[in-house]
Amino acid sequence: MFSKSISSFVVFFLLFSLTPAFGHGIGGETLPPVTIGDRNATIYLEIEPPVYDPNAGEQRILIRFFDADTDAVIEHVTYMVELKKDDKRIFRHMFHDDLGNLIMTIKSTDDENITVSGKEAPVLGGYMRDGDKPLVLQGPIFKSGGLYEFNVEILTLDEDSKVLDKRIFYRGAISVADKTNYDVKGGDDNDYQIGITSWYDQVSDFRYSPEEREVSFAMPFDWSKENIEQVQVVHEEVHIPKNFGELLVTKYDVMVNGIPLPSNTVVADDYSEEDRIVHAILPKSELLSIRDKASKVSDSSMFFTFSPSEEVVLPLVSKTTSYVYDISLWWEPLVIKSNEPTKFFVDISESYVIDKKKVPVEYDFVLTQYGEEIFRKRVTAEMNAPPKSSFEEITFSKDQVGPVMVAIENINDTFLGSTDFMIVVEPQETPIQEFPIRLESIGSEKEAGSYFVDITLIPFPQEINEESEFIITIYDKKTEMPIPGSQYDFVLLDQKGDVLKKVNGFAKGGGSFENHRFLEKDLGTNTLRIENINNSDEYVELPITVTPEFPFGFLVAFSLSLGMGIILWKRAFGIPNRLQI
């Protein structure tokens, strides 16, 4: 599938298209104009690509000098350019470009010094490109992500010989994203890698808490009002692997210096093929609003925490790779569990059609887990229909617990008519068995009896080759008091109804116990009967499951079979259900 990195930019642009153009830029920045004669002249700065990658071959610096009112480029410009980071000078050189667009190819190396390849400018000197050959700077230039400061002086303009009596000064800063990766261990004891991309400065003190499911890190930041006025936006990204189930949710809570960020500043997207990216995007207005509280925690740092929200926010919304369709995905119930049916509602609408009318649509509904396709169906539905007009019902097995990719593909058989979402299938909750189990006796004609019988099973469930203990207490139904000297027959029946064990019991104080060791041939569902209570025809009956060991799967199966057996038995005779499962 085609990468959807452009969509990440769209999300960013839609959120912050109203942010002022001047200030610390992300990859590019337009500086405040300066009046020169009858022109308002300004500079656009750009670093491309705007992400520090030590394995990348080259980057580029563009400085464009132009009329802010007409966008016309100002030609024959001589620049004095100083590049700094962390108040340390990287280089300061004079450059010239006849067309006013100064383009420098940057080759960052571990060389001790920076060399410049170009020819000498005719009037003031400095470097300029030599014909079609680019201007190249090589050496220790971009060695990390963070904030790079530019001090630019204009020495000539319009003509090479037109030297300004008073130089024009511009000052700007460009944020180069810094991508770092961290190996972590999840709550499932598996190894994962979380990435942090900082578009403002380098991060430090990364931590992941599997107990809290919380990612935290620190980043230098000057909380002074003067600095914030120069900041266009602070943008941090957390990259979460799409198989890291405990962190794949529909909404994230992000805090800075202990202050919760508004939900509209946090965006989760699955546009990357490998990772889900959670963006925290703080425009200048948000920075100013939290400045007083945040600076009390630290006036020189931002402390970020990212964690899954308890709130489930639906629908998930995405555009197809062709940008032709908007896709919304809902599901019910909100928590997807194995062995329980889930309805997935898929809404498809045309992105750029104003007068939307319902029309037929076909698409593939595909579920994939760990690279393996587990479900595919060609669906016929209606486009531009009301929400939740079409659904597919899926029941995930216990083997499909974990992250699952939901893909909507081949919409109307178009190659780029596809998108996908990440969901997580939770294991079915383990029923809680409370002891003792109280049963009401019945007579041979199934009529209600005179006794309550409490039964406790130890261990739970019963295992082969282990001693099982059955604690039995017989109560008078009217007084609900134990009956001293109670008599009964303790009977165990196998799956065929044949007797495994039958002994006479005597409860001196109303309570007693019996022991039995099950064998491998007894695996499965057996039946416990307490019969001939006090020499009557009354009895109680309880299904029990014998397992080979004590695994989670058998515990769930036993609890369900036990619960359903008791509930159905009680319903048959109109007996109130006191068993909690």
Residues 242-289 have pLDDT tens digits of 889 999 999 999 999 999 999 989 988 877 667 899 999 999 999 999
Average pLDDT over residues 317-323: 87
Spatial separation of the C-alpha atoms in residues 562 and 464, rounded to whole Å: 18
**Residue 346 near residue 328, CB atoms below 8 Å:** yes
pLDDT confidence band for 314 (50 / 70 / 90): very high
CB atoms within 10 A of CB 198: 24
What does the pLDDT read at residue 573?
38
In the block, residue with structure tokens 């486009």: 383
pLDDT value at position 368?
95
Phi-psi region of 294 (alpha: psi -120 to 50; beta: other; left: phi over 0): alpha
Q: Biggest alpha carbon distance in the chain?
A: 122
Residues 413-419: what's their mean pLDDT? 85
Kindly state the average pLDDT of the residues 306-326: 90
Which DSSP category does 354 fall into? S
Q: What is the pLDDT of residue 278?
A: 95
For CA atoms 308, 313, 315, 317, the dihedral sign is: negative
* pLDDT tens digits along 141-191: 998 888 899 999 999 999 999 999 999 999 999 888 888 899 999 998 999
Question: Could you tell me what percent of the chain has a pLDDT over 90?
Answer: 67
Q: Please tell me the predicted confidence (pLDDT) of residue 431.
A: 66
- Characterize 392-416 residue by residue with b for buried, 16 or more Cβ atoms within 10 angstroms of its Cβ, and e for exposed: bebebeeebbbbbbbbbbbbeeeee
Residue 26 binned pLDDT confidence (cut-offs 50, 70, 90):
low
Chain centroid, CA 224 distance in Å: 32
Closest CA to 80 of 66, 93, 65: 93
The pLDDT tens digits for 499-536 are 999 999 998 887 899 999 999 899 889 999 999 999 99
Would you state the pLDDT for residue 342? 97
Q: Are 114 and 137 in contact (CB under 8 A)?
A: yes
Find the Cα–Cα–Cα–Cα dihedral 517, 522, 527, 528, rounded to 10°. Answer: -10
What are the tens digits of pLDDT across the range 472-507?
Answer: 999 999 999 999 999 999 999 999 999 999 999 998
Q: Residue 486 and residue 495: Cα distance in Å, rounded?
A: 28
Among the listed residues 199, 383, 194, the one whose alpha carbon sits nearest the alpha carbon of residue 275 = 194
Q: How far is the C-alpha of 461 from the C-alpha of 547, rounded, in Å?
A: 7
Sequence-distant (6+) residues with CB within 8 A of 121 are: 78, 94, 95, 96, 127, 128, 160
Q: What is the structure's pLDDT at 273?
A: 62
Stretch among 37-41, 194-198, 552-556 having the lowest mean pLDDT:
552-556
pLDDT at 570 over 60: no
For 78-99, the pLDDT digits (tens) are: 999 999 998 999 999 999 999 9
**Do the Cβ atoms of 227 and 169 come closer than 8 Å?**
no
In this prediction, residues 392-414 reach a mean pLDDT of: 93
The answer to whether 200 and 234 are in contact (CB under 8 A) is yes
- In this model, does residue 6 exceed pLDDT 80? no
User: In the prediction, which pLDDT does 566 show?
Assistant: 37
* pLDDT tens, position by position, 47-84: 998 888 776 678 999 999 999 999 999 999 999 999 99
Q: Tokens 């425009």 correspond to what residue?
A: 283
114-123 residue pLDDT tens: 999 999 998 8
User: Which residue segments constitute the domains of the chain, with CATH numbers given?
Assistant: 25-176 (2.60.40), 316-425 (2.60.40), 437-572 (2.60.40.1930)
CA–CA separation, 376 vs 76, rounded Å?
A: 62
Name the average pLDDT for the chain.
Answer: 87
Q: Name which of 5-19, 360-374, 381-395, 493-507 the model is least confident about.
A: 5-19
Residue 98: per-residue pLDDT: 93
Is residue 20 pLDDT above 50, yes or no? no
Closest CA to 26 of 200, 194, 159: 200
Q: Which tokens in the block code for residue 254?
A: 């992000």
- Place 549 in a pLDDT band, splitting at 50, 70 and 90: low
